[in-house]
Amino acid sequence: MKILDEDTWITQKAAEEDGASVLAGCIRMTSPEPLLATSDVLTARLSFSKFVHLARLKLALTKEQFANKAKIPLKELVCVEDDDQFTPTPRTVHMLAQFLKVSHEKLLTLAGLAQAKDAQFNAAAVRFAAMSEPIRELAPEEQEAFEEFAKFLSSR
């Protein structure tokens, strides 16, 4: 399977339009400008990153396998999963929504590329972000570091 870069994909989709005038994007599109970094947008992006990561784990796929099946660039998947501040391209979000069979609009909002239309969306994103971390005991090193820092923060 060959993964097409975004310019190639856009050119192919434009050719399929059979001469019709359609304004939907441009070749050599730079990274989309993210919305203002409000707490809702930051929480949504964190939820987007976690959602994609957990979806991949649920499907028991490596990052490379997931990227190939979703038809997205591997480097963009790595950024999506490992950097919750990363803004993916609209095409990547579209392909992920199609592959994962979820709403394109909601996934665009989670990725920080659209604004939420209601407070329920933001509440659901916050709930997901809060619940998606497993609960585990601290390793001895973590426990020691935590106690030492807590002691420092408690001192006057």
Average pLDDT score, the chain = 83
Rounded-to-integer distance, Cα 114 and Cα 23, Å: 19
- CB contact at 8 A, 27 and 9: no
pLDDT given for residue 151 in this prediction: 93
Tell me, yes or no, whether 25 lies in a domain.
no
Domain that holds residue 122: 38-133
Total domain count, the chain: 1
Tell me, yes or no, whether 88 lies in a domain.
yes
pLDDT in tens, 25-44: 433 334 444 444 577 788 88
- CB contact at 8 A, 119 and 99: no
Tell me, yes or no, whether 145 lies in a domain.
no
**CATH classification of the domain holding 92:** 1.10.260.40
Tell me, yes or no, whether 113 lies in a domain.
yes
- Dig out the tokens for 107 from the structure: 């996934």
pLDDT given for residue 61 in this prediction: 97
pLDDT given for residue 2 in this prediction: 53
Rounded-to-integer distance, Cα 109 and Cα 112, Å: 5
Please compute the mean of the pLDDT values over residues 135-148 and round it to a whole number. 93
Instruction: Give the range among 37-51, 75-89, 119-133 with minimum mean pLDDT.
Output: 37-51
Tell me, yes or no, whether 5 lies in a domain.
no
Element housing 112 (H / E): none
Cβ atoms < 10 Å from Cβ of 110: 30
Rounded-to-integer distance, Cα 60 and Cα 62, Å: 7
Tell me, yes or no, whether 152 lies in a domain.
no
At residue 24 the predicted structure's pLDDT band, cuts being 50, 70 and 90, is very low
pLDDT given for residue 115 in this prediction: 86
pLDDT given for residue 19 in this prediction: 57
Helix ranges, the chain (H): 6-16, 39-58, 63-70, 74-82, 90-100, 104-110, 119-131, 140-154
Statement: residue 75 has pLDDT above 90? yes
At residue 48 the predicted structure's pLDDT band, cuts being 50, 70 and 90, is very high
Q: What is the DSSP letter of 75?
A: H
